[in-house]
Structure 1
Amino acid sequence: MDSLKAKEEKIIQTIIMFCFLVSISLITYDKLPFLHFSSYSPSSIFTFFAAFILIILVGYNYQYYDRWFIIFIAISIAHSLISGVYYDDVGSSFQHIVTLGVGVSIFATVRYAFMKKRKNNKLYENILILSLIWPLTLGYLQLLKQFGLGLGFVDHITGFFAQTVYVGRVQLASSEPSWAVMHLLTIGVILLFNAKGRPFLKLMLFGMFFLFLMIFSSFGYGVLLLSFILFGLVTKRYRFKMLILIALSWVIVFFIVPWLLDVFNVQGYYSQRFNYKYLFSQEFLSSDASGFIRIAFPIIGIYQFFHFPFGYGGGFYYVHFNEYLLKHFAYGLQFDEVMLNVTQAGTATARNLFSKILSEEGIVQFVFFILFLKGIYKQCKTGYGKYVFCLALAFLSNFDTYAFVNFWVLMGVVASGYFNDRHAVVEIKKNKKRIVMYGTTK
């Protein structure tokens, strides 16, 4: 009987690993042809969720900091359902609950898989490398078309994977260029950890960095800059290096990138964003729809929080959205995308997860979420792990769904102790050498 049970568990473990490998190979795809319900509908969420259900069956290994997230989820579900009944919109509550479930499943599955093979993750790395071959190939074809080569077929191929094709821009197999840079950063930061002594991997990472630069995404550059700032704030040891990187990033974004745009004669609605005088002016908010939404919508969430610090319920940011928009940002109504959020109830979102939590969940829930993140941060025993944690947080500056794949993937890898593996900390205490790894002493 024990032998039969062991066999069944081994089969389930194999299926879990298969689902996980499929999931990470699909990270770069925001939408596949059979998924039409949203521009951001990553197919990887289904296999992540399937793996999570099986993990529960074989026994989920809870960590001490999970309690804060469990409390957060329980209160969030109850609060949202009560609000759904009050506002007569239970549908928004169910959508909110589904995104919570997706986020939990991604984080738990990634952490489980990386902890299972913590000392030998070459299989995961190879799958990630293989998953990049097609998106990078498509990215370079898009780049050649951007330079003027007559490759009309590229837009048709891109349209097969993306709801919107940005003609004349690099977007890989993603629905937006800004999402493409998040995929490059997510996979790149995992692969970079093991690039030492691997020439092919270094070459691939260089190709990814070049595409990252040539996507000309102000959001992508901003995320990288914010990650440096956060890392400098949480670590004293690397603070001076971060100041240098921040200064270098500023030079690249506002001087080298405009020069590249001019050299390659790249023109588009996004090119003005690299003029710092324009970017930090009222004209930017008054003339750039995407910029307006990314700045005004999170601020509206903060206004809602100050008006009612206990939150309006998960999924109900939109309830008082029109009121604050008209009061503080009425000039934004000139943009079609903003008007769409005004006229179609339930479509407005905070565009920033922290703003979303404050406005929808309230101050108490915000504290629980921070305690959960603090528990993950404590798993970081190296500077590299701490930086990846900061990069994941920087992603949230313009993403507000709990079903955000890139964020949870990086958090899961950090929580697993993966970035601690090859950097044991050696301490000398009382004339005895101790090797501290994964927070335990050997």
Structure 2
Amino acid sequence: MAIDYGRQSAPRPHRVPAVLRAPLAGRTWREFLYLMLSLPMAVLFFSYAITMTALGAGLLITFIGVPVLAGALVGARALGAVERVRARGLLGLEIADPEPIRPRKGHSGPMAWMGAVLKSGASWRHLLYGVLHFPWAVGAFCVSLTMTLVGWVTLLYPAYAWVYPEYGNQPGMQLYGDSDGTAVYLDNPFEIGVTCAAGLLLVLVNPWIIRGLTQVDRLLVTGLLGPSRLATRVWELEEDRGVVVDTAAADLRRIERDLHDGAQARLVALAMDLGLAKEKLEEDPEAAARMVDEAHGEVKLALQELRDLARGIHPAILTDRGLGPALSALAARCTVPVRAEVDLSVRPAAAIEGTAYFIVSELLQNISKHSAARTARVDVWRSANRLMLQVSDDGRGGASTAGGSGLAGLAERLDAVDGLLVVNSPVGGPTTITAELPWRG
């Protein structure tokens, strides 16, 4: 996961207060429409849930009840999908689909599918939503419709008060009447003004009542029609496992390539040179000595390449002395002057140390190759149960995690260990990249 915190201008304050804008705001009327549509949807969902559940439970004495219940749950999931679409369109509620129905590995066929449906917690939550949402939808429908109609009718009363004496043969809207002929009408300016003021109050309060009602709907949809926290976590772990496997495979390919193109090729050439030197040993001892001397130099280079390769996998200094000395040694090899400060009283888990070392190594390589920086800085510290890394430079900036860049790969690697990468790199610099990892000491 990567977040780019660029500079953003603060939103300009609106001249009209929110309480005055709310009655005419699009959000208010979308939420009102949602509550109006909730009643017919709730009646349909409730009737389906009760009927199908009762039918399936009653038929459980025979085998027919099992497929009936499974079909009821599938239908509930379909109705739940409609509810999620409605909530997404009218409430702006972004909610993921629940976990799909998956038969156990190695099992297939109708029986395996029905078993997976009946064991699916998400399916039963959909059915529960159909039962629980009905009484709430009835109450929310009545409250929102009554408040909206009464508020606007009374607020706009002065605009249509003339209709009653003109066409209704009465002085105004009748508030009370009995069989004795006693009646109370809104027929004078004071009463009309009070009515209008009461209507204005209702109209101003009504949007917040509607928002409160739809907030309950949001909780119901999120809690019962979305994926469970456990299922979401399982999905995240499955994705992270895939990232870890891909990363490990990429690392193995890189090591294989480095060995093949570097030390292995050099050792093959060294063996050939030593073979030639052996053949010339008796014929031309001086030439053989020169060839052995050259081979000695090749051995040193091969050893250096192997040391660099081993250091890139997991440097010995990191294992022996910890993150501070390892990062100081890494900073000393960078082509840009780097100041490294590590403030850790204890060491985190070895896997976290290795990931932190790799992240800093990659970021320093990026600085050397792309930043045109004069100086850089590495800071490492602990914050609660998190290990914090920050690498900054005074280069030209413009770093981004978009477009499959190296930073995107680092973000995926961090995400695989529940970490986070934050990039702040405006064009022209400076660049500050912060990585956050779990401590796991």
TM range (shorter): under 0.3
Larger radius of gyration: 2
Structure 2-normalised TM-score?
0.19
Structure 1-normalised TM-score?
0.19
